[in-house]
Structure 1
């Protein structure tokens, strides 16, 4: 007797536990045969003229046949299964002669019944990209399979895959219904995951303003318990003076004039005090586009407001003292000059014709002129035409008798500095005869404010803009697309294979790898494109001015090629891919940041299902997306 040849059982996939959970959740194993699957196996057997065709589901220790043609048994052991090898394939596992393949030559299914010589199996994936089994054709004689028939078998597999995905969706629908029936448990889960683990106050607010859900941080901010707040409206705890502006912004949300808003206002605390908050609100719609409720985020900014109030009080006190002393010493120019020259503030007295009557010595430091030479000259001559035009409306207000504060001034003599100014009218016999100017250098203060804002908007690991920065820029891009008809494209990227690298080399290596990915994305994209890191291994590219799908395809291909190059991980190399979902927003399009981001996300998952390290277009292009994605598929096949 001829000795048996060696054969190899397929290794377990990296996501085996997750794959098995997904398979068993679909309730397909050990169920009766169904026509929807049998129809496919019959067509596959006829199309390929193969004696055996199967829909095989790979369980923990077996492969079980949901549909079979030409085979009496309903399952075999997994360790002798060809389909267990196909689970690792990206598209099609083709064995033209099992006797010539070291993996299968000694396999009992080759040496014994059903005497497999030829095998062609296409992986069947869930909506999340997990391989659950295969559609396969088997023959007892070696043979080849033309590219056309390979493509046809893949198309039939897509039909089975679509049925599985539909059942997955149906299962998810049942789960949602179960969630609705168990509302209390879901509420507790949502409360724990969404609200309790955040350092800011959060609330779900009904359209009537009543609190529906609140988190502990909001209770801490307001001093009310959760039960008390959920019997109240936001109108009841908002300080009356701040309420009209808040309600106006709410009306703009409901009218569709804006998608979100931010607003600084005060809440009345339970103990009678007030607290300043930075409020951000978004309106949530149902599937039919009808408003459902508001989602609000509140951050306690009382400390900042207190600091601003102290600074404002200090400035007003300084201004009051300067004015008081200026008035007292008007008759004594020498004394007045001495005092004002030693204050770190530009101080001037201007008449109704906007000509200087008095200047302190700080004017010499800033403008390089002697203060005495400015008497009788116009303000425009000193501060420059651009600054003068900027200040002119404020001059008009102070000459009308109003005390005016003005910030963000850049004088011609100090182009790299920023100033604020206070203009106080001078009354003589009930008429405005001129005004006093007190102007302070606020450059360092503004720089600190800008630095703080920049730090809030950046991802700490990669240095890229973060989710908050993306939300801000995406809202601006949507407004520009709607109002100025400036198109843009959104690329949602998820790394393929990152988890394996992270698990194998550790989180420090994973973090270093993410930084390398960020650097490549920045190098690959245009200088004015916005590359963001959302979280984990998810990145987003916002590219403005993109008008064609071909341009999007080129960008996506460049990204895929850049990420596919080997990365250095310690002393070794790692290889990744990236799945890219593309959503385009044409000029004049009406959409929202949430909608276009969700569409790009779904397109990314479609790219993963189609083989990974590739890209797909979103359904926002519903009328052309299928054709475009077919072209993408054919282009990918040609490249491969």
Structure 2
């Protein structure tokens, strides 16, 4: 949820010290379906102390898990932490689950035992025989677990091994499992201690670097006690000047009343709901802000103080006003729903789409979105998908005001408030009636065409399920200079072995239709046929119709040759790897002969180097044409009134010049940077593109790896009024910059899981540490992870060594 909140709201969550796998102990201990330890409250409190320890993905914990599996010779091993009602699987071998219900888990009994707990055969144990872990797809039969005992004597979870066959552990294996559990607990203690120290030292630095305005005031006199750097920079006061102020100097009367009302409802340690205020700066400027208040005690003086954390929303308010105009005047239908699916707002275009004169007329007649759905259960299915996937896009039939129906394309997404809580949904609608009518007309034409083709005397043969010809038409027989009766009774394949193999596979398959393209030599001439098969007479026979596609094959070969020539031209436009004062190397791997990726680098003057990489939506010639067009625009500087030293101006100019509706609904993402080699400074901006990665040092420290991104912006071409921003960073000597398209990390691994950007960044850092960070070295490492020999999407990777 922290991704949806301002930085300092995360800080407030930190102050609350909530652990990620403990949800509190506000429950009764009576009437339990599973046994609970007598010290359950103390155990959960102890568990909270380890909330900041990251076990998932930690190689040290994973090593101990593998050792447990190997030592006990079991296919499954795991480190499990048990909270109020869940068992969280933090490290595992041979198991796909991430959590289990506590009431069905073996580990719920392990933490009671406080010693090695063994279930030799779960089917014979009435506590577990009917649980999903035993009866379900996991099929667990054997379990052995050692509790993870904290210093206070409470069992936090277990190190356990499992098998799908009944068995026992010998004494040596039992001792090894106990020793490994002790090592797991020791590592948890070590990581907890280190995390607490780092958190205390990082807190002050975090507050001084957050973009939110943070301040503390005295609870008694409302005078400012402390302000962070963002507060000083936004309002224009120094830290010394701020300490001479109180809230009456900063807040207008309305804002002051709202703040005091919120504070009056706060108890010690509580945080208020979001409050909107207007702050007055040193030069008289007004800053619109939203934020929360928290009543707390100063740990040094024990005096009561109030935390106020504001987010500057001046620009956002303006953006909301702009959005309101866009919403009301958009040509496509836009709407917003509350959490239950009730319509809150609709625009004029949507009202007219459904046959109403105005948004007010629509809302007067239509309350819930279910009222417009032709399928009564559609909203429930959509809501389930929104909960699981966060986005729903589909075509569906809906009711109009006159009880007629139309087909629409609808896109739905959730809406969140400042705390990251879902408050409703928003969506847009497009009329598909014309397209659906065209599809219906096309389908009718296809059916008519099929009837004509069935009557055309092409190459037709009737073959029995025991692979003998029952008959052929004259056209097929003449193709081989034979009489039709020469085929009858003979086994298939006597003239064409590939066709014979296709017939055998077709009859062995339950499908009733199939097709294949067959190349052959007929009387010394090349011939290619599309053979379509359909079963007949209750699958006792089948009809095979051949269509001559020889000329089409020749045309395809000619087209492929032209595409290859075009691809070579596109590749020739890319810059050459260079050593100059910087070493730049790259690889470009289109998923087809023509791809939508493109990149370039060149000197604006003796000190400023431009670097950029763009990724056009889609593949093929259209995407390649747009990418080459953008490259030519940037190389020729043919963007009027544009400062090419300012990346945000370049992106804004491109967005004005290239819009989706003029590019057949194509758009592109781009990362664009300008490097000043005298200042060793890189200024950059991005439009919907993955961040560039700057790695300094040997990449072993997290601070060595910097993702270079600007606040999330729309890709180029989506909306003409999209805004873009600059960011900058210093570049140390010996650093490497990687710019890439998303095709390099959006791959399926051998275990069928989808790789991620974070995993790719880890790979770059690891390659740096292992001195294998060359472009080819990185690509080879990615290929080893992929389940396929080729990439599904265009791949571009650019590396700059400073």
TM-score category, normalised to shorter length: 0.3 to 0.5
TM-score (norm 1): 0.37
- RCO higher in 1 or 2 (8 Å CA, sep ≥ 6)? 1
TM-score (norm 2): 0.31
Instruction: Indicate the structure with greater helix content.
Output: 1
